[in-house]
Structure 1
Amino acid sequence: MTRIFRTRRLSRVFVAAAGAAGLVLTGVAGVPAVAQTGIPPVDQIVHSPNIRQIANIPKQAPFNTTAALGTDIAFTQDHAIVGNYDGFVIYDVKQPSKPKIVSQVLCPGAQNDVSVVGDLLFLSTDSSRSDDSCTSTALPASNAQAWEGIKIFDISDLANPRYVSAVETDCGSHTHTLLPDEKTDSTLLYISSYAPAANLPDCQPPHDKVSIVQVPNKAPQDAKLIAEPVLFPDGGNVGGDNPDGTRRSATTGCHDLTAYPEKDLMAGACMGDGVLIDIKDRFNPRVIERVQDNVNFAFWHSATFNNEGTKVIFTDELGGGGVATCNAKIGPNRGADGIYDITGAGDDRKLEFRSYYKISRYQADTENCVAHNGSLIPVKGRDIMVQAWYQGGISVWDFTDSANPKEIAWWERGPVSATENITGGSWSAYYYNGYIYSSDIQKGLDVLDVRDRATAPAKSVKYDVFNAQTQPRYGR
């Protein structure tokens, strides 16, 4: 979700025509929906026939308030770790149909995106706090004593995570991407942050860089900031108005960085720019290609490589994740994915635009909906992705033909509210060891099972750890 800077309509529910439309409708308690045209009722579940929900665990106290937004997910062994604006939750998912909460850690500091390596958990803090502890209070970012950055936890005992240390970084840590550094037996965290202003002592313009934090694997208490490489020495996209009047974001840092370590590549979604980065020298990342879309993209939000490392999916988070953009007015090319092929070799590699992809189901005016976090479904020889669309739900789609992407399966709930704009829906939807796990902002953890010929081979692919922004290679 974008950092909030501090200071033809397709009917989705036709019960009488559900068979013909290929829809399956499930009530909150398994009761069929009442026939209607338009938007399904609040919390009503609708989905394609080839995907179903097998579990849900609602948010539990103290994370059961509307303001306690569920965020990103990381996986280790048989556990899913879900961030929350108020901390994080560890789930046992050994039995995907019966997940259990192992522990909850109260540690306020939006967004609290998470990643994990070995016995270490990393937590991004991108809101101004009184200090780096888990008992901190909110402070204005204009206060020079305010703290933002990355926190580190020891999770060797998943039932009792232990806070270890923290590192402050300029403009905080909106998201972060980890890379192993075997030479020094450490983990490198590439911190993405943005939105500087002259009145913010710890977030001064220009801010065209990323922060690299080094965490010694055996001494995480000694973590430190080691580099701040500038990605845009000549400045990024200056921003402005798109032809349709929507606002295009200026580049003042990056929102998300996704690494493909085996390929020595990183893709950066940097507000107004999409970039391809050579990371062969882990401490000195080099931008080798940069693209802009000054017609349809408003905010370059995240990136995903295909398994061969020959394509990148960039997402456009039009409206910052809090606006209804899945409708006829906005159309199919804004708030969408941009599919780019990587052509050429070495420093001559280029990002070549091929097409947009956006869900075709229109959403209610009270439903925030836009392209958001997803991951590959590991099918050798095919490019298939599962993706969250906030209140637009979850889409499984194939981009093997970059110019002609197509949806395979979908699942969603009706609005959080029929009358109010309440931020909700799937923040992140990732495929892990045979199932789709979704962090719903308001509804907690959802587990889905997709059963389709196209995705069936993925059932046999297993990982011990998974961080969506550090892509592994499958099908060797």
Structure 2
Amino acid sequence: MRSTVVLGLTALLLAAGCAAGPEPAEHARSANPGRSPAASPAQTSGGPAAGDVTHSPNVTHVANVPPAAPFDGPHSWGTDLAFQGDHAFAGNYEGFTVYDIADPERPAVVSRVLCPGAQNDVSVHGNLLFLSIDSPRRGPRCDTDPGATRVGEGWEGIRIFDITDKARPVFVSAVRTECGSHTHTLVPGDDPGTVYLYVSSPGPEPDSRTCPAPHDRFSVVEVPVGRPAAAKVVARPRISGVEDVDHPAGCHDITVYPEKDLAAAACFGDGFLLDISDRVRPKVLQRVRDEKNFALWHSATFDNAADKVVFGDELGGGAVATCDAGTPATRGAAAVYDVVGGRSLRLRSYFKIPREQRPGENCVVHNGSLLPVPGRDVMVQSWYQGGVSIWDFTDAARPREIGFFERGPLGDGREGGSWSAYYYNGHIYSSDMTRGLDVLRVDDPLTDPARKVRPAELNAQTQVSYAE
């Protein structure tokens, strides 16, 4: 965790070690051997009790794969997800897991790769997998110790793996980036032999040699697909577009829509709309701020037409309760903006889950993605202990929840819940920080058309269009 900005959950220095290899086929415990009785969408104050699972009538919990060693420690938190073919890839503060999801109701562990480093957010492209490391280590490889001999020293950035053999991923190379890599975004190049990574990181860090003030830039890493060991930083664009930035704290997430040559950057104190027609030299189209309601601009999602964008505010950094009765509905929420003329942003509304959570439950809007529903704008989104929400923002001024899944509180002040929730090939996959991989099915006339859209790969921060 950077000391000068709120980053989300506390970054921990994790134990050393590196291992990758096949494991016995470890199948999920079936969450519902058939369709479970539907829970009422109307919740009593405070939500479900500890140990309970509740959901809307149109959502079924079909599977859960609980964490296992070495990913079952008290702070071995599950993080982001990526998808390719019949496989899901789940980040964890201890490394990453490859799942076989050919049968979504019986997902199986293919391999676990022990490679500690916060947060290990993940993306995939062809035979390559990329991990974001945002905690200093003594070297880039998986078996290096955490920490640094001096402030600002040590390694952090992007690790690259070859996943040709999903049962035995192989570490290939690493790229050091200024201030590390909290998250990254995969950006296809004009040449299919090249991809870029937009590396987001917080900062500045006092007295740091690697993260000096002001920190209003992000790193662009160029990856030759056929020679990933040659990956390198090729640019460091200024995200602010101005010299007198009020809060130069870097970006948290950057979501790109390459077909539209657009990106939406959530940069802690600000939101940005970017022109990425030149992938290495993005240009700021507009910068917006919401000082009354937004504390930490966390992530962004375009609608299919790219005429709307949803920004999320991770109020409290994901570690505190912001879905309780004492927090306004416009704080810790998602905000829906119109993209006017493809070049400017106009605020239309806010959305927050309508189920009041207990004061001890960490809850705030977090990672999500579109459901490919022709003619409508529908998202699935994680809310930590607030669970998983499916909501419709077709009417930008009146967003509404249409489905949900939620567990009861962990208790004892523990942090947990859904870190990321994405729709992929007919199901919703949720990375629960402490309970592993959840698989959900939504059965609803409004969302059923999404099942026909079956992409070969999904990195949620790299949006592709679907036919309307």
Match of 1:169 among 142, 158, 177: 177
Tell me how far apart the structure 1 counterparts of residues 312 and 396 of structure 2 sit (CA, whole Å).
15
Aligned to 2:402: 408
- Match of 1:356? 350
Deviation of the 1:234 alpha carbon: 2.7
Q: C-alpha distance in 1, partners of 2:358/2:203?
A: 30
Q: Structure 1's 43 and 344: CA in aligned 2 closer, same or farther, altered over 3 A?
A: same
**Aligned partner of 1:2 among 8, 31, 40:** 8
For residues 303-452 of structure 1, the aligned pairs below 5 Å read 303-345=300-342, 349-417=343-411, 420-452=412-444
Q: Which runs of 5+ in 1 are unaligned?
A: 8-18, 26-35, 239-249
Query: 1 CA distance for matches of 2:419 and 2:53?
Result: 17
One-letter code aligned to 1:2: G
Q: Which residue of 2 aligns with 1:122?
A: 130
Q: Give the superposed CA RMSD.
A: 1.9
Q: 2:223 aligns with which of 215, 220, 223?
A: 215
What is the CA deviation profile of residues 121-140 of structure 1, one whole-angstrom value per residue up to 9, with x for unaligned ones?
00000001111010111115
Within 5 Å, which residues of 2 pair with 1:130-209?
A: 130-140=138-148, 142-183=150-191, 185-209=193-217
Please report how far the alpha carbon of residue 106 of structure 1 lies from its aligned counterpart in structure 2 after TM superposition.
Answer: 0.4
Report the identity percentage.
Answer: 53
Tell me how far 1:39 sits from its aligned partner. 4.0
2:40 to 9, 22, 31: 22
Using the size of structure 1 for normalisation, the TM-score is: 0.89
Query: Which residue number corresponds to residue 288 of structure 2?
Result: 291
For 1:142 and 1:354, the matched residues in 2 are separated by: 47
- Checking the alignment, whether the CA contact within 8 Å between 2:9 and 2:319 is kept in structure 1 is no
What is residue 89 of structure 1 aligned with on the other side?
A: 97
1:89/1:21 CA distance change after superposition, 3 Å: closer
Q: State the SS of the aligned residue for 2:136.
A: strand
What's 1:10 paired with?
none
Residue identity in the other structure for 2:436: G
Does the aligned pair in 2 maintain the 1:2–1:320 contact within 8 Å? yes
Q: 3-state DSSP class of the match of 1:280?
A: coil
Q: Helix, strand or coil for the counterpart of 2:191?
A: helix
Q: 2:301–2:310: 8 Å Cα contact kept in structure 1?
A: yes
Q: Secondary structure at the match of 1:307?
A: coil
Q: Match of 2:145, SS?
A: coil
Q: Per-residue deviation at 1:200?
A: 1.6
Partner of 2:19: none
Match 1:463 to one of 446, 450, 455:
455
Is 1:276 the counterpart of 2:273? The answer is yes
* Whole-angstrom distance in 1 between the partners of 2:397 and 2:248: 27
Query: Using the alignment, how far apart are the partners of 2:425 and 2:39 within structure 1?
Result: 30
Deviation at 1:331, TM superposition (A): 1.8
Q: How does 1:222-261 map to 2 (within 5 A)?
A: 222-235=230-243, 238=246, 250-261=247-258
How many residue pairs match? The answer is 439
Change in CA separation of 1:254 and 1:129 when aligned onto 2, cut-off 3 Å? same
Taking structure 2 as the reference length, the TM-score comes to 0.91
What runs of 5+ residues in structure 2 fail to find an aligned partner?
A: 1-6, 14-36
Q: Which of 91, 100, 105 is matched with 2:108 structurally? A: 100
Kindly tell me: are residues 100 and 324 of structure 1, through their superposed partners in 2, closer, same or farther at Cα, counting changes over 3 Å?
Answer: same
Cα distance in 2 between the residues matched to 1:400 and 1:416: 34
Give, in whole Å, the separation in 2 of the partners of 1:5 and 1:376. Answer: 28
- Give the 3-state SS of the residue equivalent to 2:102 in structure 1: coil
* Structure 1 residues 87 and 6: alpha-carbon distance in aligned structure 2, compared to 1, 3 A threshold: closer
Would the alpha carbon gap of residues 79 and 358 (structure 1) be closer, same or farther in structure 2, given more than 3 Å must change?
same
1:24 CA displacement: 9.3
